[in-house]
Chain A
């Protein structure tokens, strides 16, 4: 019975996406850390994993998404590199990090509201 309480689709999807968002932050952090390293290629959430995650969302069980490789991998179609082989564009990375952080806050709101609704339903009291 307890499991079914937490099977709300929005809640399950938000939980899965929270993990992905955290991993994406680590990838962007690694890119920004290596902005001055010669020969460094930027990394991001791998396309295969994104594809698989979308498939699992449509099928209805997002937590089953896994991947053969890692979630974060070298971005194969990143744009041009400088003379020393480094293809990190600092402004792009910072912008993506900002929007990633907003996505994380939105997902946290979803998860939090699901739990607060559940608490309200159980206790019968509305907490502000």
Chain B
């Protein structure tokens, strides 16, 4: 039994949105990384969500599901090639392969993720208020 109702669902959502924000930060930080660990330019990471049933209590309802990260995959689309012959990673023609990080996409993801995080914080506030009120029964 949870004192604050729905706490596991909301906790899963806060965790997932936070991870998504971390991935956006990683993408933006590596927007100019032409040589990664494997020697190739950085590929932006894409996060996908899926619902998961938080069924740790008996009689848990499959309809009230939390959310988790399904996968963090590389975006395979190639990035732009920039002409920069002085660059240490330039190939024979003087072209440098840049990461496929598009700032517009990342900012939209960041805004959407922030909005989701704040909404779930509002849910927790509400649930805590309900729990507080329940404690005042009889007084």
Contact = CB atoms under 8 A, between A and B. Distances in A.
Q: Do the two shown chains form a genuine complex with each other?
A: yes
Interface of A: 22, 25-30, 32-38, 40, 43, 70-74, 90, 93-94, 97-98, 101, 104-105, 108, 111-112, 115-116, 119
Nearest to A37: B49
Interface of B: 5-6, 9-10, 12-13, 17, 20, 48-51, 61-67, 112-113, 115-116, 119-120, 122-123, 126-127, 129-130, 133-134, 136-139
A104 B68 CA distance: 29
Given A36-B112, A101-B126, A115-B137, A90 B64 contact: no
Contacts of B20: 36
B120 A27 contact: no
A26 B130 CA distance: 12
A97 B120 contact: no
B137 A35 contact: no
Contact of B133 (A71, A97, A104): A104
Nearest to A73: B63
A43 B9 contact: no
A40 B115 CA distance: 17
A108 B137 contact: yes
Contacts of B126: 25, 97-98, 101
Contacts, number: 110
A30 B65 contact: yes
Given A71-B61, A101-B130, A32 B119 contact: yes
Nearest to A116: B138
A27 B138 contact: no
A43 B50 contact: no
A37 B50 contact: yes
B136 A29 contact: no
6 contacts: A30-B64, A33-B65, A34-B65, A72-B64, A104-B133, A119-B138
Given A27-B64, A33-B66, 10 more contacts: A29-B6, A29-B9, A30-B64, A30-B65, A33-B10, A34-B49, A70-B63, A94-B122, A112-B136, A115-B138
A108 B123 contact: no
A33 B120 contact: yes
A46 B98 CA distance: 52
Contacts of B63: 27, 30, 43, 70, 72-74
Contacts of B136: 108, 112
A116 B137 CA distance: 9
Which among B10, B63, B119, B122 has the highest number of chain A CB atoms within 10 Å?
A: B63
